[in-house]
Amino acid sequence: MDLSGKVAIITGVSKGIGRATAEALLAKGAIVAGWGRTAPDDFKHPRFHFIKCDIRKEADVQKAYAATTKELGQQVHVLVNNAGIGNFGPIDGFSSDDWHAMFDTNVHGLFYCTRAVLPQMKQQKEGHIINVASLAGTAGSPNLAGYCATKYAVRGFSDSLFKEVRPQGVRVTCIMPGSVETNFNGAEPGQKPDPHKMQPEDIAAAIVHALEAPQSTMISELQMRPTLPK
């Protein structure tokens, strides 16, 4: 897909992978609707439109989609389901609220956003949905059972979805990064890049790569790891 002039929705746009993806798509000439609970700091661009949205709430997603199409036109070409949270800890010490918060964001919110854009993408026979999962969706880890469960769900959803919407010309890619240097789980990125972690810009570049693949090609799944293991 040639991204110039295309409309892209990115969730969780305020920082990390979401913000880096917004910058990468803007650099390619796309028009970006950034959905999030908070606007990114010091981020202004004539083709960037922030729309306040808590994807955990279905009504919020419907309002954000209506606001996006009102402002940018009916056609939406890209959805990057990036918003996600991780609460870690042992299962018998885990609060139900933390468990629900992860599923409400990582799984249910992703479903609401996907369902919002699909009818138009199918009608225009063009669209690309990127679901940001994790390598935690490929193998379980102690004290990450809840987070892994959500990312396994995202991977299964993506695998089913691409088979469902392929005949209508809609592509679906599941991106599964390993360790990325972001504010994820409250951790502050270091002053110097950690050689054992990828940068948000690396994931954004992979998203652009998947989007720009020839129309005859769909990258359905992409696993990413730091080159240097710990």
pLDDT value at residue 193: 63
pLDDT value at residue 163: 98
Lookup: tokens for 165: 């919407």
Query: Is residue 188 scored above 80 in pLDDT?
Result: no
Lookup: tokens for 35: 């959905």
What domains sit in the chain, N to C, each tagged with a CATH number? 7-224 (3.40.50.720)
Catalytic residues: 147
Band of pLDDT at residue 196, cut at 50, 70 and 90: confident
Q: What is the pLDDT of residues 47-88, one digit of tens each?
A: 999 999 999 999 999 999 999 999 999 999 999 999 999 999
pLDDT value at residue 184: 59
pLDDT value at residue 189: 46
3-state helix, strand, coil in the chain (%, to 5): 45, 15, 40
State how far the Cα of 39 lies from the Cα of 144, in Å rounded to an integer: 29
Band of pLDDT at residue 190, cut at 50, 70 and 90: low
Q: Find tokens 């209506």 and name the residue.
A: 66
Q: What is the pLDDT of residues 105-147, one digit of tens each?
A: 999 999 999 999 999 999 999 999 999 999 999 999 999 999 9
